[in-house]
Structure 1
Amino acid sequence: MPGFSILDHVRPGDHVTVGEAAAEPRELVAHLFAAAGELEPMTVLCGYSLNDAWRTVHPGRPAVKSYAAHGSLRKLAAAGALEILPCHISSLVRYIRDGTVPVDVVLVQLPPADEDGFHSLGPSIGYLGDAMDRARVILAEINPNVPKTASSRRIHRSRITAAIHSATPLPTSPSRPAGPAEKAIGATVAALVPDGASLQLGIGAVPGEIAGALRDRSGLRVRSALIGDWLLELVDSGALDVSVPGACATGIALGSRRLYDFIDHNPGVEFVAPGELLSPAALASCDPLVVVNSALQVDLYGQVNAEALGGRYLGAVGGQVDLFRAAHLAKSGLAVVALPATDPSGARSSIVPRLDGPTTSLQSDIDVVATEHGLADLRATTAAERARRLIAIAAPEHRDSLRA
């Protein structure tokens, strides 16, 4: 490794936190894994990753923890080599800040510093700023491909213990063409969004279809923990004007190179920590706030499982509950679960009598559930009414068994 060795800075027993998404330094992570045998025991915390290097980790070498089994970490979870922290993202940030989750070393990818010596944190804030505040050592991979984003969170080069330079392309969000189910869900959910609404959509095929169905809206705002290329769709159609102060706030961007170019030096897209994204002052300006999240299952009470199926951890608690509850704290808000009526094979219903995994969101946190078969409005409903409405939007071939 040019300049320094991981072994010069990381000690056996250290807790290492790795930047997620575009903040993950792939070269540094590769060197960390190569040195893992000399650093045992060592624990590594990582969030969303699209780095295939994680799939090569042997159980316990190092011990790997995450709040999610997304991207490349899903195969690690399937192999039993990933320990899940099933906590809200707001709690994870708090645990890092107060030392409940230890941070000795941070590995991070950053854009080059400005003329005053400050590095932007790029398109990934999340837990990163608080982790760097706690770290003994910060090892950085400086990459000119990382966009410089608008944020109050940044780091001076004097805080960086050691750095390398790379020109690794940024990870882009995997995408697949939307099918009929995603298109139908997108149109159904978009009908709930009025002019002037604030949106949380996440990434994936359904958010893209929702954004595409909002072309005729005006004055939309974005307050989303994660943004993808759907942001460009809203801007291109004129539904979102990022020249308006406060029009777009997010914590992580994960999409195409075009998205990264759009947010580079763009003051209209502000990157904030989770606490700022959902602060009472921020939520007061959201009227309404429409929060859309995905799920693996919804039961007939309206409870949501976004985490595990068949004993396998596939998702996350993440920000789902934080965001749904934020919708209820806003001046007016709507908490929407959007999911296909069946799994990809069509054999298993996503509307179920009882959840197969953890209850991620409570029935009291959910307002509306949408599938390709329609919308179940669960507001002010009894248990029996909820069940009837949810069965009505299940796949037709599964409705009789649900009624039984």
Structure 2
Amino acid sequence: MTANIQVGRPLKSLQRNRFIDPQAMPSLIRPDEWVFVPGSSGAPLAFMEQLLHDPEFTRNARLLTSYVPGINALDLAGMHPTGQVTGLFMQPELAVAQREGRFRALPISYAGFVRHITEQVDIDLAVIQLSPPDENGMCSLGPSVEFTPAVLRKARRRLGLINLQTPIVRGSYTVPFNSLDYVCEVDTPLPIYDVPSDSGTEAIARHIAPLIEDGAVLQTGLGKVPTALMSMLRSRRGLKLHSGMLSDGLLELAAAGALDMNYLHTSCVLVGSRAFYEKIRDFHPLRVVGCDISHDPVLLAKLDHFVTVNSALEVDLFGQCNLEMTRGAAISGCGGAPDFARAGRLSRGGCSIIALHATHRRGSRIVPMLGPQTVTTLSRVDVDFVVTEYGVARLKGASVHERAEALIQVAAPEYRSDLQDAWRAIANRL
């Protein structure tokens, strides 16, 4: 009976027949079965370390993962040539594996991935990382829930890594200890997420801040701009957070009195500093939920004053956004940006903001048209504002020609003349 479990009590005294040593975890994988491995701050690093120790462990293996670039490094060098990984995010080091068919990048958003799990794939083994059980026998997924609820509804078998460093987060999804088929005790640090700011990033954040009013519901993505933006919103009042990821800025805004403390601030992932993981344990107005909730288009459509802030690699003069490719090479995925951008665009009193630096090492990020060697991650109908360090391009309510002019004005000055010439040529064909 799990009702008698006490925190700190040796787990092996509870259900000895379920416990396995770390070295035995790869033996749970059977050829051609699907194994789900979560990402972000819930990535089961101890499992992956053992799995990639010997290529034979992954012979004919089929892994489905939500590893996130910038937080999780996915190294397939230790996999057997017949093993295959399917994921949401491309990473540059996976280019060869993708061409060889050993890595399959799914071009779908987070909401789409929930549906993919629900309707199109059978999960034979779910590998999840949890806190030690509480006095009621419940294990917390701690700072990372992501797709786990949807996966557990499908999984035939469950391997729980009871990680001594996974905090019990109030408001996070919990799993009964006695629902785990296999248990392995580990002691693995959570990934630290820390992005340094710079003058260009701070300039972008300063331009975004006036677009976010008191009482707004705010979503931000990964990267430098969201981090800098949080620091510039400390004077706001009544802010509500609904995002795919929350970090140290959550607690900074709370300490500044900027948050509505009667609102359940929502995310599917928490990732940040070590101090953040410690302090977030007792932050009450918070829920960490599955992407079936955080990215549900029906729920998002009901959010008024929903302001979404996402980044892009390129934006063209029509307002189309590329979030995934550079120089023809795939380097990332769309993540939850399409889900949130569309919701912000349609929200009553809300808006969809795209933030990016005006230039990169090879030229302008504001381009005449997205090229033939790239993709359109966000269509022009899902963007209200484009913000660079040079200002704000208001696309909401603007005509095709007015949009182009506004975007040219937030490009780097040295590229504006060329962009104007290019737009004249495009406009003559419209």
Conserved in 2, the CA contact under 8 Å of 1:196 and 1:287? no
Kindly provide the amino acid, as one letter, of the partner of residue 133 in structure 1: R
In the other structure, the counterpart of 2:262 is 244
Alignment partner of 2:215: what SS?
coil
Farther off after superposition, 153-162 or 48-57: 48-57
Kindly provide the amino acid, as one letter, of the partner of residue 272 in structure 1: V
In the other structure, the counterpart of 1:348 is 363
1:310-349 equivalences in 2 (<5 Å): 310-343=327-360, 345=361, 347-349=362-364
1:204-223 equivalences in 2 (<5 Å): 204-223=223-242
Alignment partner of 1:252: what SS?
coil
Give, in angstroms, the shift of residue 122 of structure 1: 1.4
Give, in angstroms, the shift of residue 138 of structure 1: 1.5
In the other structure, the counterpart of 2:425 is none
Alignment partner of 1:216: what SS?
coil
Q: Do the aligned partners of residues 52 and 384 (structure 1) sit closer, same or farther apart at CA in structure 2, a change above 3 Å counting?
A: closer
In the other structure, the counterpart of 1:102 is 122
Kindly provide the amino acid, as one letter, of the partner of residue 117 in structure 2: I
In the other structure, the counterpart of 2:163 is 143
Alignment partner of 1:122: what SS?
coil
Q: Do the aligned partners of residues 61 and 124 (structure 1) sit closer, same or farther apart at CA in structure 2, a change above 3 Å counting?
A: farther
In the other structure, the counterpart of 1:76 is 94
In the other structure, the counterpart of 2:209 is 190
Distance 1:113 1:158 in 2: 10
Distance 1:398 1:293 in 2: 23
Distance 2:302 2:97 in 1: 44
1:124-163 equivalences in 2 (<5 Å): 124-151=144-171, 153-163=173-183
Alignment partner of 2:221: what SS?
coil
Kindly provide the amino acid, as one letter, of the partner of residue 87 in structure 1: I
1:93 equivalent in alignment to 2:114? yes
Q: Do the aligned partners of residues 65 and 162 (structure 1) sit closer, same or farther apart at CA in structure 2, a change above 3 Å counting?
A: same
Give, in angstroms, the shift of residue 173 of structure 1: 1.2
1:26 equivalent in alignment to 2:11? no
Alignment partner of 1:108: what SS?
strand
In the other structure, the counterpart of 2:8 is none
Distance 1:267 1:66 in 2: 33
Conserved in 2, the CA contact under 8 Å of 1:30 and 1:53? no
For residue 65 of structure 1, the aligned residue among 86, 90, 98 is: 86
Distance 1:399 1:68 in 2: 33
Kindly provide the amino acid, as one letter, of the partner of residue 388 in structure 2: T
1:167 equivalent in alignment to 2:187? yes
Give, in angstroms, the shift of residue 139 of structure 1: 1.4
Conserved in 2, the CA contact under 8 Å of 1:33 and 1:62? no
Distance 1:348 1:162 in 2: 52
Conserved in 1, the CA contact under 8 Å of 2:29 and 2:125? yes
Conserved in 1, the CA contact under 8 Å of 2:142 and 2:173? no
Kindly provide the amino acid, as one letter, of the partner of residue 385 in structure 2: V
Deviations 1:107-135 (CA, angstroms, capped at 9, x unpaired): 22111111221111111112111112211
1:294 equivalent in alignment to 2:311? yes
1:360 equivalent in alignment to 2:377? yes
Give, in angstroms, the shift of residue 362 of structure 1: 0.7
Q: Do the aligned partners of residues 132 and 316 (structure 1) sit closer, same or farther apart at CA in structure 2, a change above 3 Å counting?
A: same
Q: CA RMSD in A?
A: 2.2
Kindly provide the amino acid, as one letter, of the partner of residue 351 in structure 1: I
Distance 2:38 2:144 in 1: 8
Kindly provide the amino acid, as one letter, of the partner of residue 378 in structure 1: L
Give, in angstroms, the shift of residue 231 of structure 1: 1.5
Q: Do the aligned partners of residues 214 and 348 (structure 1) sit closer, same or farther apart at CA in structure 2, a change above 3 Å counting?
A: same
TM-score, reference length from structure 2: 0.86
Distance 1:261 1:172 in 2: 12
Farther off after superposition, 47-56 or 20-29: 47-56
Kindly provide the amino acid, as one letter, of the partner of residue 337 in structure 1: I
Conserved in 1, the CA contact under 8 Å of 2:63 and 2:84? yes
Give, in angstroms, the shift of residue 4 of structure 1: 6.6
Distance 1:349 1:209 in 2: 22
Kindly provide the amino acid, as one letter, of the partner of residue 160 in structure 2: A
Give, in angstroms, the shift of residue 40 of structure 1: 2.3
Deviations 1:146-165 (CA, angstroms, capped at 9, x unpaired): 12223473211122121211
Distance 1:213 1:186 in 2: 7
Alignment partner of 1:129: what SS?
helix
Kindly provide the amino acid, as one letter, of the partner of residue 183 in structure 2: A
Kindly provide the amino acid, as one letter, of the partner of residue 302 in structure 1: G
Alignment partner of 2:292: what SS?
helix
Where does structure 1 lack aligned partners over 5 or more consecutive residues? none
In the other structure, the counterpart of 2:135 is 115
Q: Do the aligned partners of residues 279 and 130 (structure 1) sit closer, same or farther apart at CA in structure 2, a change above 3 Å counting?
A: closer
Distance 1:272 1:382 in 2: 39
Kindly provide the amino acid, as one letter, of the partner of residue 254 in structure 1: V
Distance 1:59 1:7 in 2: 13
Kindly provide the amino acid, as one letter, of the partner of residue 245 in structure 1: Y
